[in-house]
Amino acid sequence: MIQEIIVTIIGLAVAAILGYKVYSFFFIKEKSGGACGCSSCHCNVEKKFK
């Protein structure tokens, strides 16, 4: 019984983390500011995958 509860809690935590990552990938846009030019695109790509 305790093992089932622990597995359920871990499963819900993993589902929440994955759901947040998918949500942030599609719906959260990072603002690139300044005159960084194309290097800002590279910076945003690095931040997104970390």
CA–CA separation, 39 and 27 (whole Å): 22
Q: Is 29 a domain residue? A: yes
Q: Is 7 a domain residue? A: yes
Instruction: State how many domains the chain has.
Output: 1
Q: Is 21 a domain residue? A: yes
Backbone φ, ψ for residue 29 (5° rounding) = -100, 125
pLDDT at 39: 52
CA–CA separation, 31 and 33 (whole Å): 6
Q: Is 41 a domain residue? A: no
pLDDT at 44: 52
* Structural domain of 29: 1-33
Q: Is 42 a domain residue? A: no
Q: Is 40 a domain residue? A: no
The model's pLDDT over 1-50, given as tens digits with 9 standing for 90+, comes to: 999 999 999 999 999 999 999 998 888 766 554 445 555 555 555 555 54
